[in-house]
Chains A and B, each alone.
Chain A
């Protein structure tokens, strides 16, 4: 593979990091709403100009030059300047000695500004939160430090850092096995909405419920459940979304696979396969579901459908798994993922990504697991990626046709489940067999079935 091909693969792989931003309908509506606001302002601006002209003509005449001084302050309500260049907020805003010390706190990474200011410092519940900001190469960068309420500067620990957007909305996350929390710093008149998780109804429809959370002087702390990664928030200003998140993963760092994950990996695959299901792949497939729904593994009743090798562009051995999970509503989710067998990310002395999801699909309540047909799209490898379709179907299936939008192609043999080459344009596959009506299943993208209304 030449350098250009490798670059194409690496760019394509890196670009998939953007896939969490998938609230397309809301984004379209936000643009339409923004345009309406622009039109209203233009109309109001024109009206204001007319009024100003009339007043300019009439007032000197009527008031005899009483308003001749033109040094009036600029109009209010117009965004101008740096949204982060404002007085310190929070209960410790007046403690100058404290502020001076926290402004000097160090944080990891290369995004440490030389000149800093404290944006927020205060206690929120039983935690102390501090946001320090400064410019790095022209962009505003912020770092959150947290500790127990009342902690001195030396008792605060770095929590997270991220660029501070022009919206003037910042988020801080405190991740802990004892209880994680999220702080949103917005403008006092903004509206904060929080969704705890994706809900999947019995018919397979996935959605999020959004609840308003009160902002106190523009600040709110939200306690995160154990499955913190399922939580989403959005901030609205004048009815228009201006920020959404979390932009920093709210999942705790990976540790050893949990016992329930290991137990699923040890199940005999209902549809057979080849090799042993890696716990890392099972954990990744389960996380695709728990990370959106907020459910625990025990709530999903997961069953291992199939496991088998998938080709990798890196020449390493990767193993895919297909799981079926039954949600409390009865809807059945199928989740596919791959991993290297030992789950460590090392093989033959090389380091590479250990595991990745291949997508989820959902079927309505009552669908027998034995009849499920699911197709995951796996991009396997690190620098050099090979794309495959992992098809899981009942054992009586004997052939498969792939459809790239122009109708099903030529039939290929398939013994129930297996792996097909993916040319990137396949949108669905149709499986069939003796005495079996053809069944067409869509090809999942990563997070497809549960990527709704804010991710």
Chain B
């Protein structure tokens, strides 16, 4: 990519990043569980998209491509981290940290889920994607998405404190 065409492509890519990155970071944060890894995931997904930018944009909206790259990177990254898919990590802790709030509880609960199940939850319930869209992004069947979604809901019910049980939490 050189010359004027390259610069036009770069401008288009920059506009795409500005339009999409916030949303990508939110998804990546819930997938990864911490800011640093979320930013790494998004940058890697954007780089993979940019490598094929001309081809991707020629086929239409590059949003689906970068989302697929993000999810694939997340699941493959998790595989690299642990063969057992039971990654244990925590949010950054600070001295005299406050009582964990409900957002933190949500992030911690997500980290208890296997990576693909976590991806199903994030795609279905954060991004409001249909079962078919989620299956396409994850490269699996709709039936698998249904199964993973059902198991995730059951697991999250165990991990999350419902509002009515908040009494006396402090």
Using CB atoms and an 8 Å cutoff, list the residues of chain A in contact with chain B. Answer: 3-4, 6-8, 10-22, 24-25, 27-32, 34-35, 38, 107-111, 136-139, 141, 157-163, 165-166, 173, 175, 244, 247-249, 253-254, 314, 345-346, 349-353, 382-384
Contact = CB atoms under 8 A, between A and B. Distances in A.
Given A4-B125, A11-B122, A161-B93, A137 B13 contact: no
B170 A346 contact: yes
A24 B22 CA distance: 8
Given A21-B39, A253-B98, A248 B103 contact: no
A15 B89 contact: no
B87 interface: yes
Interface of B: 10, 13-14, 16-18, 21-22, 25-30, 34-40, 42-43, 46-47, 50-51, 81-82, 86-90, 92-99, 101-104, 106-107, 110, 121-122, 125-126, 128, 153, 156-157, 160, 162-163, 166-170
Given A10-B160, A17-B35, 6 more contacts: A8-B125, A18-B25, A20-B35, A25-B18, A163-B34, A352-B166
A110 to B, nearest CB: 6
Nearest to A32: B10
B87 A138 contact: yes
A326 B153 CA distance: 48
Contact of B89 (A136, A175, A314): A136
A163 to B, nearest CB: 6
B29 A353 contact: no
| SS class, residues of chain B in contact with chain A | helix
A136 B40 CA distance: 19
A216 B29 CA distance: 33
B126 A15 contact: yes
Contacts of B10: 32
Nearest to A146: B95
Contact of B30 (A14, A38, A162, A166): A14
B103 to A, nearest CB: 4
Given A25-B14, A349-B168, A382-B101, A163 B37 contact: yes
10 contacts: A11-B125, A20-B35, A108-B97, A110-B90, A111-B89, A158-B95, A162-B93, A349-B168, A350-B166, A351-B170
Contact of A352 (B82, B94, B102, B122): B102
Nearest to B107: A14
Contacts of A107: 93
A28 B47 CA distance: 9
Contacts of A173: 94
The 9 closest A-B pairs by CB, nearest first: A137-B88, A18-B29, A15-B26, A28-B17, A162-B92, A138-B81, A138-B82, A14-B106, A111-B90
B102 A137 contact: no
Contact of A384 (B13, B35, B163): B163
A31 B52 CA distance: 13
Contacts of B39: 21, 244
A102 B166 CA distance: 39
B88 A110 contact: yes
A10 B43 contact: no
B80 to A, nearest CB: 8
A17 B35 CA distance: 9
Contact of A165 (B26, B28, B36, B89): B36
B81 A139 contact: yes
B47 A21 contact: no
Contacts of A109: 90, 93
B94 A248 contact: yes
